[in-house]
Amino acid sequence: MFRGIILSMFLMFFVACSSSSSDHVAEKQGDLDPTFGAPDGYVLYEGWNRDSYVGLAIQANGKIVVSTGILDGDNANVGVLRYTPEGRLDGSFGNGGLVTWDGGNGKDCGRSLVMDGNEKIVLTGYAHNGNDDDLLLVRLNRDGSLDDSFGTDGVVFYDNGDRNDYGRGIALQKDGKIVVTARSTGGGTSQALMLRYENDGTPDALFGVNGVVVYESGGGNDGFRDLALQPDGKIVVSGYTRTALGFEILTARFSANGIPDNSFGKSGIVKYDGGNGNAGARGIAIMPQGKIVVSGSNDNGSDLDVVVLMYDENGFPDSGFGSDGVVVYDGGMGNDNGRRLTLQREDRIVVVGNTLNGNDYDALVLRYHADGSVDRSFGSGGVAIIPLSEGNDWGEIVAIQTDENMVVAGGIDGETGEVVTMRLIGFSFFN
Cα distance between residue 286 and residue 253, in whole Å: 12
> Which residue type, as a one-letter code, is found at position 152?
T
Instruction: Give backbone dihedrals phi and psi of 19, rounded to 5 degrees, phi first.
Output: -70, -45
Q: Say if CB 63 and CB 86 are below 8 A apart.
A: no
Domain architecture of the chain: domains with CATH = 32-424 (2.130.10.10)
Q: Supply the DSSP symbol for 347.
A: G
Question: What is the mean predicted confidence (pLDDT) over 374-379?
Answer: 98
**How far apart (Å, rounded) are the C-alpha atoms in residues 271 and 252?**
9
> Which stretch of DSSP H or E encloses residue 15?
helix 2-20
pLDDT of 21 above 70: no
CA gap 295, 322 in Å, rounded: 13
Each residue of 193-231: b (16+ CB within 10 Å) or e? bbbbbbbebebbeebbeebbbbbebebebbbbbbbbbee
How much is the pLDDT for 429? 56
Please give the model's pTM, rounded to 2 decimal places: 0.93
Task: Tell whether the model's pLDDT for residue 332 goes beyond 70.
Answer: yes
Check pLDDT > 60 for residue 8.
no
Alpha carbon 240 to chain centroid, angstroms:
16
Strands (E) in 255-382, as ranges, are 269-272, 279-286, 292-299, 304-311, 326-329, 336-344, 348-356, 361-368
Main-chain dihedrals φ then ψ at residue 346, nearest 5 degrees: 60, 35
Residue 128 has pLDDT above 90, yes or no: yes
- Give mean pLDDT, residues 326-335: 98
- Angstrom distance (rounded) from CA 423 to CA 348: 17
User: What does the alpha-carbon distance between residue 14 and residue 10 come to, in Å, rounded to a whole number?
Assistant: 6
d(CA 112, CA 405) in angstroms, rounded, equals: 21
Q: How far is CA 52 from CA 142, 211, 246, 256, in A?
A: 26, 27, 22, 29
d(CA 223, CA 253) in angstroms, rounded, equals 14
Q: Phi, psi at residue 347, to the nearest 5°?
A: 60, 25
Query: How many angstroms separate the CA atoms of 225 and 234, rounded?
Result: 16
206: left (phi over 0), alpha (psi -120 to 50) or beta: alpha
pLDDT at 159 over 50: yes
68-91: pLDDT as tens digits: 999 999 899 999 999 999 999 999
Q: Residue type for 196, please?
A: R
pLDDT > 70 in the chain, percent:
93
Contact 62, 407 (CB under 8 A): no
Whether 26 shows a pLDDT value over 70: the answer reads no
What is the distance between the alpha carbons of residues 62 and 148, in angstroms, rounded to a whole number? Answer: 26
122: left (phi over 0), alpha (psi -120 to 50) or beta: beta
Q: Say if residues 93 and 99 touch (Cβ distance below 8 Å).
A: yes
DSSP state of 391: S
What is the rounded average pLDDT of the residues 55-68? 98
Residue among 393, 420, 384, 376 at smallest CA distance from 32: 384
